[in-house]
Structure 1
Amino acid sequence: MELAELTALLTPEGLRLVDELGAIESTDGVATAVSRLRAAGLAPELVSAAVGQARLRTRARQKFGAFADRMLFTRAGLEQATRLEIGARHAGRFRDAGVARVADLGCGIGGDALALAGIGLDVLAVDADEVTAALAAYNLAPFADTAHVQHARAEDVDLAGADAVWLDPARRTAGHAETTRVGAGEWSPPLDWVWQLAARIPAGIKLGPAFDRALIPDDAEAQWISVDGSTIELVVWTGRLARPGIRRAALVVRAGAAAELTGAADADDAPVRALGAYVHEPEGAVIRARLIGEVARRIDAGMLDPRIAYLTSDAPATTPGGGPNPFVQSFRIREHLPNDLKALSRALRERGVGTLEIKKRGVDVDPATLRTKLKLRGPASATLLLTRIGDRRVTLLADRV
């Protein structure tokens, strides 16, 4: 969004128009709305801004639910924003640590600041981009008594009144239009500055889940988070925000239910075991946190191969209460199938498999391309696991548990 569009949007006419447009679900819907509004004689800047916001609000409901309908966004800001349910968990950690005032450095469109202010904390929300800071101020307006927005660089902010900080160092170029990946030395604010700040004031630092583990301070807690099967972020906690004795954590959220695995260090891998009746795929947060061995010991499983993040056991993966274990996705093995494409296709047709989930680890296969080549047909559904055991490639027909 450019400044001219923001100016047109932040008017009674502009905001009313966004509300009237409602949900726009597709690019065809965008084109239809633009044509209709232009034909009605509305200014191009207003049409572009209002239709763009209506489309972004529709997308934002996945992260912000009903709150999205009163918020404003940029495309990059929405992409980088923390999901509201995860932001609420982060905010709870600040509150539970006795923090009353938080500086959100690199606040983006204000998603994390909303969660912090929503539970009664005082928040100073800071962003280096003028348009993004203006949108954050709009989004935080319902909390005007406790949330304040400042347009500034993180490094230039006076933190004298802050009990703790929340940082989201930019892994992209500054701005609010297209996003571009940047190199490891081009973080904003610089990572050296971030670590120095986090050493003297309690901090939560949001990073990408693939962040270089070697750069994580030894005395910090590193928490990887998976939501509905996707590993979305790593948060490094320091000072009183880091839990005693915990250096590795995997938080797994599915359908709103959360479970967490923690450790004082990386867990030792479990021994390799022969293929059993079940194969278990650890959640991405568990893999990133290197707590696979801890999960394996909890479900009495072994590694299928020492280089591949699949576990195997002869019994289902359950919790002590008998429910499904939240840290793995489990598959009951039906049989081995041929690796050869033609023979595999024939075997699946003979079994009437028309709907096939394809999972792979340790093999160079594109599941979408393979699915097309298999020419599936039939009423049955199944999962195909493609992996290696030692030097041998295996193809396993399975059912998701």
Structure 2
Amino acid sequence: MPYAFSLDDVAFLRSARGEKALAACAGLPLTDASRIADVGTARRLVGDRYAAALETVVLRRKAVTKLAGADEWLFTGDALQQASAAPVAAYRARRLAGRDVHDVTCSIGADLVELAGRAARCVGSDVDAVRLAMAAHNCERAGVSPLLVRADALRPVTRDCVVVADPARRDSSGRRTWRPEDFVPALDDLATTYARRDLVVKCAPGIERAAVPWAREVELISLDGQVREACLWSEGLATAARRATALRSDGTQWTVTDSDPDDVAVGEPGEWIVDPDGAVVRAGLVRHYGARHGLWQLDERIAYLTGDTPPPGVRAFRVLEFGNYSEKGLRATLRRHDVGRVEILVRGLDVDPNALRRRLKPKGSAEASVILTRIGRTPTAFLCRAERIPA
């Protein structure tokens, strides 16, 4: 079970004594093998608050790749897990730059610090007093000073500003829930409460459009190729019905929407196969992305694209050979090309890549990628070489 922080814990961790305790525990290995020794050392160095100090050090280590300045922040385990990665939070804040904004589920402040740095005026609120105290600390360390208020998200305490919400997506037992009515607060309740306000809601990328009829734009956001979230934008904020936004840690980004052209053909395989970013696939914008980059589809119902020039900055697959798929035929192809290390990607076929790899038992010195898909009704196998295309 994760450690349950108290307000007294937060007050201690924010004090000079707490900072000294955290610095003393920061050098501990904190591995499974060292756990007993680490707890003994922490007890000796910190005293009664040793558990809060150890949990904070562990969470800071987990947060380093997710949040800027994480080595000075305070977290709870659940709050860190749900917190937006810094580049994603910054991107959303840029869409709201210059507006008055109220983050009604601010938690430990991952979105709030980005919003406060760009909004005209910013308020953060949460029903959880411990998380609100942590948000105060984190905002202070980030150099921003939004107004912080303890309040229920469904009992408005502001007017005439954009409302940002990130409902909890775990049930009382800590298990992840996918039903919008089980979110805390529930999506329908949020939409009803703020029906006359501009509303932005962060939620899981698997959200069904039919479950959020109030949302005029559903944006899927990826970071470094991994889909992180869906963001729902109400009428006054939407600029498209469907949007896919791809962010990278180096600061680059691109976006495609349903208002972009989608006139792409279905044709024979080109020199390359492109597996579009997951945000594009989930947003249903494969054709729009293909049209932008001069690509075409192998099959109108399959998300793989093909062409003779891949888009810049992507990992694409140069086609070495292809033909009808059978396990026996694929095994012979791998043997012919001396392939011993094989990546298997599947779309449109009921094939388990890991189980197939074990059955193939590839032996050789070369490395290759295999793409298994369906063209029409024909199962097709592509032997490829994966390459990172320069941006």
Give the structure-1-normalised TM-score. Answer: 0.84
Give the secondary-structure state (helix, strand or coil) at the position aligned to 1:158. Answer: coil
Give the secondary-structure state (helix, strand or coil) at the position aligned to 1:293. Answer: helix
Range with bigger deviation, 225-234 or 385-394? 385-394
Runs of 4+ in 1 over 6 A off after TM superposition: 23-26
Q: Deviations over 1:344-397 (max 9, x none)?
A: 345424423233222111223333333344334443221111112222222211
Mapped partners of 1:220, 1:85: distance in 2: 24
Range with bigger deviation, 254-263 or 107-116? 254-263
The correspondence of residues 2-401 of structure 1 with structure 2, limited to 5 A, is: 2-4=4-6, 6=9, 9-22=13-26, 27-28=31-32, 31=35, 34-37=38-41, 40=44, 43=47, 46-65=49-68, 67-95=69-97, 98-99=98-99, 101-119=100-118, 121-142=120-141, 146-160=145-159, 162-173=160-171, 178-181=174-177, 183-217=179-213, 220-243=216-239, 246-256=240-250, 257-264=252-259, 270-313=264-307, 315-318=308-311, 324=312, 329-336=315-322, 339-341=325-327, 344-401=330-387
- Decide whether aligned partners of structure 1 residues 342 and 23 sit closer, same or farther in structure 2, where only a CA change above 3 A counts: farther
- Decide whether aligned partners of structure 1 residues 273 and 342 sit closer, same or farther in structure 2, where only a CA change above 3 A counts: closer
Give the secondary-structure state (helix, strand or coil) at the position aligned to 1:27. Answer: coil
Q: Which runs of 5+ in 2 are unaligned?
A: none
The answer for the alignment partner of 1:321 in structure 2 is none
Range with bigger deviation, 370-379 or 381-390? 370-379
* TM-aligned CA deviation for residue 121 of structure 1: 4.2
Letter in 2 for 1:37: T
Q: Which runs of 5+ in 1 are unaligned?
A: 319-323
Letter in 2 for 1:193: D
Is the CA contact 2:139–2:145 (under 8 Å) kept in the aligned structure 1?
no
Letter in 2 for 1:259: W
Is the CA contact 1:221–1:236 (under 8 Å) kept in the aligned structure 2?
yes
What is the identity percentage for the equivalent residue pairs of Structure 1 and Structure 2? 32
Mapped partners of 1:139, 1:131: distance in 2: 12
- Decide whether aligned partners of structure 1 residues 36 and 339 sit closer, same or farther in structure 2, where only a CA change above 3 A counts: farther
Matched residues, number: 382
Mapped partners of 1:309, 1:365: distance in 2: 16
Q: Deviations over 1:72-97 (max 9, x none)?
A: 112211111111112112112211xx
Is the CA contact 1:308–1:362 (under 8 Å) kept in the aligned structure 2?
yes
Range with bigger deviation, 196-205 or 221-230? 196-205
Mapped partners of 1:178, 1:344: distance in 2: 44
Letter in 2 for 1:18: L
* TM-aligned CA deviation for residue 218 of structure 1: 6.6
Mapped partners of 1:70, 1:88: distance in 2: 19
Mapped partners of 1:331, 1:24: distance in 2: 44
Give the structure-2-normalised TM-score. Answer: 0.86
- Decide whether aligned partners of structure 1 residues 35 and 218 sit closer, same or farther in structure 2, where only a CA change above 3 A counts: closer
Mapped partners of 1:168, 1:356: distance in 2: 40
Letter in 2 for 1:113: L
- Decide whether aligned partners of structure 1 residues 218 and 173 sit closer, same or farther in structure 2, where only a CA change above 3 A counts: closer
Mapped partners of 2:297, 2:86: distance in 1: 35
* TM-aligned CA deviation for residue 27 of structure 1: 3.4
Mapped partners of 2:73, 2:93: distance in 1: 19
Give the secondary-structure state (helix, strand or coil) at the position aligned to 2:382. Answer: strand
Is the CA contact 1:25–1:55 (under 8 Å) kept in the aligned structure 2?
no
Is the CA contact 2:262–2:290 (under 8 Å) kept in the aligned structure 1?
no
- Decide whether aligned partners of structure 1 residues 108 and 366 sit closer, same or farther in structure 2, where only a CA change above 3 A counts: farther
- Decide whether aligned partners of structure 1 residues 139 and 388 sit closer, same or farther in structure 2, where only a CA change above 3 A counts: same
Give the secondary-structure state (helix, strand or coil) at the position aligned to 2:17. Answer: helix
